[in-house]
Amino acid sequence: MISIFRSVKNYFSLVKFSHTVFALPFALIGFSLAVSKDDQGFSLRLLLLIILCMIFARNAAMGFNRLADNRFDAKNPRTKNREIPAGIISTKAAGAFIIINSILFIITAGFINRLALILSPVALIIILGYSLTKRITSLCHFILGLGLSLAPIGAYISVTGAFSLTPVIYSLIVLTWVSGFDIIYALQDDEFDRSNNLHSLPSATGRKRALAISVIVHFITFLLVITAGFTGNGGLFFWIGAVIFTVLLIYQHLIVKHDDISRVTQAFGTTNGIASILFAIFVITDLFFR
């Protein structure tokens, strides 16, 4: 039993399961946007299927990321103790983990509806493909953002089987928000990336310019949040959530400087995790209790 618990814990650590708080709350927003419509009803079965899809897709993506970056992680002092380079999880076991989660994602999408099933391989290509983009472009942060941005529109499609403008705006919020804070996260490895022919905005432009780009991207996020409020006829709770989300966006830029990146982890993980959860709580509350 102890051995099984330790093994599960290792895989949770491999995929940074706690970071699910970035995209999952926005998937719940997409779901809530759909079920709050007059012609849609709440389905616990469907909600659980969406959550499972999120978990399986993210497990596959993070597992592939760790496997694809194994050679670089082993050389990087910051990442050399990750599960695969440290030998805690073998490359063969990691590969099996990726395949199993990918298959489970597609099967689960098939239980949702036909459109979700058709789009599931496309989603996998995007979220797995991100891990290779750091080898070819400094815009890799935006590919990561694109992958996570599938959460709200994917959840909405799961309920309605159709596209709509408001969930697309929420997807754009996720795209720019994630891209912006991933640029901040990449500050930690700018020198390593440069010396190992890996691409990121900090390694290409320097920390100061990369942070400036992150500010611009997050300003676009702010504009999209405002747009979502007007497009979705947001009420008091929405705007309270929007203010909190915006304040936390600003806060992470105040605590990370180009000459002091000691609080990157706090900005990346804690601040953005709290922002995502609180924003989702207020948006969903607004949808049902206006």
Q: What are the domain boundaries of the chain?
A: 7-288
Q: Is the pLDDT of residue 104 over 60?
A: yes
Model confidence at 227: pLDDT above 90: yes
- Please report the pLDDT score of residue 4 as a whole number: 61
Closest by CA position to 32, among listed 289, 287, 234, 268? 287
Q: What fold does the segment set 7-288 form as a domain?
A: Tetracycline Repressor; domain 2 (1.10.357)
Q: Decide: pTM greater than 0.85.
A: yes
pLDDT for residue 1 is more than 60: no
- Could you give the CA distance from residue 290 to residue 273 in angstroms, rounded to a whole number? 25
For residue 135, is pLDDT > 60? Answer: yes
Its sign, for the CA torsion 110, 111, 116, 122, is: negative
Contacts of 110 (CB under 8 A, 6+ apart): 116, 117, 120
Q: What's the rounded Cα separation, in Å, for the pair 221 and 227?
A: 10
State yes or no: pLDDT of 246 exceeds 90: yes
pLDDT digits (tens, 9 = 90+) for 51-79: 999 999 999 999 999 999 999 999 999 99
Residue-level pLDDT at 241:
98
Least confident of 28-42, 147-161, 165-179: 28-42
CB atoms closer than 10 angstroms to residue 41: 9
pLDDT band for position 287 (cuts 50, 70, 90): very high
Dihedral sign, Cα of residue 7, residue 13, residue 14, residue 19? positive
Residue with tokens 């999880």: 89
